[in-house]
Every structure is written in C-alpha cells, then in structure tokens.
Structure 1
C-alpha cells in the first residue's frame, strides 16, 4: 500500500482544526529529530509502522504507540490531544502549573 503522507497530514490537520486543538504543541510527519518541543504530541512514519507519542520535559519520548493502520494512529493522536487538554485544565483548576501556556486550558 502506498502512503501519501502529505494527504494524511492534511486530513489530520483538518480534524485538529475542527476540534479547536490547533493551539496545542504537535508535529505531524516532521521527522523524529525535527521540530521537537517539550510536551508535544507527535505522529511519525517509521518504515511500515506509524508511531504516535508525546514528548516530555527536554523533549524526551513518553509512551510510544505503533500502528500499521494510519486511522488507528490518527485516533490515538487525537486521544492524546484530548487528554492533554483535559489534564492541563484539571491542573489549572487545582491551582497547579500547566505543562505549558495555552489558551485551551482556560476554556
């Protein structure tokens, strides 16, 4: 099966926009070493698999998931985004500092 990564990236970016998550830190098919930030949700193509993970402090990898199906990878990517929003909203509500500044924590 041939993958057009730029077409998949476009589809995922449209979903992110529809959910209102464009303010989150994320990277889609940027290359594992490129555009890394702390507390960033990432999806990469690595040989025959799609990898979805979050970076932690100093952009270290935290919890990597591997999928053969792109749409399962999309689902995990969007789930991590949602959990990021919810956990940071909880932190702000509890008077704790969020992972990073983002207007989504206040909604």
Structure 2
C-alpha cells in the first residue's frame, strides 16, 4: 500500500473514532482540490518532502500559517490539535449565542 494512502487511512480512522466525521477536513487531496470554507487540511509536498497542515477560513482563504513537518506523526498531532480547537471554539460560539463557523452536531455536545 502506498505510504500516503496508509497514512490517510490512519487519519480517517482516528476521525471516525473521535466522531469528527462532520468536521470539514481534507486529507491528502491536493492543495487546490476540494477546498471548502472553514476546512482543516493536511497535504504532502512531494517536492519538498514535507507535510503541510493548515486551515481555511471564509471563501477558502488560508488563515494563520501553514505549518510544515518532516514526519507524519508530528503533522498528524498538529492536525488533531487544530480539529480539537475547532470543536472547542465552535461550542463556545454556540454557548454564547454566536454563530458557529458551520453546522455540526459536535457544537451541541458539552
């Protein structure tokens, strides 16, 4: 099995285990494919041999910085830290009667 396909499977399995399937996540789909507002992305740059982890905001523009990692484990950890913060932030938005970034049943759980 291709290395990236194996790593993609690991991430997707963890997303399912955490019940994060309603989060907007792109895993190794190419930097310009399937971009969506408020999406968290992990990509692999073949030329530089690095993993890229970043988030998109309104109109699928990059927010924050693109983090680069030379190994999969660090990139995966960063991805899930961002996803955890996404859940916490949007729960707070709902709790304070503000609009979340996008609809998800995760925002309504304590």
C-alpha offsets along residues 32-54 of structure 1, whole Å, 9 cap, x if unaligned?
00000000010000131000000
Residue in structure 2 matched with residue 49 of structure 1 by the alignment? 50
- Which of 87, 94, 97 lines up with 2:89 in the alignment? 87
Unaligned runs of 5+ in 1: none
Unaligned runs of 5+ in 2: none
Q: Secondary structure, in 3 states, of the residue corresponding to 2:21?
A: coil
**Distance (whole Å) between structure 2 residues aligned to residue 29 and residue 16 of structure 1:** 14
**Distance (whole Å) between structure 2 residues aligned to residue 79 and residue 20 of structure 1:** 15
Q: Which runs of 4 or more aligned residues in structure 1 lie more than 4 Å from their structure 2 counterparts after TM superposition? A: none
Mapping of 1:1-107 within 5 angstroms? 4-47=3-46, 48-62=49-63, 63-107=65-109
TM-score by length of 1: 0.95
TM-score by length of 2: 0.93
Aligned length: 105
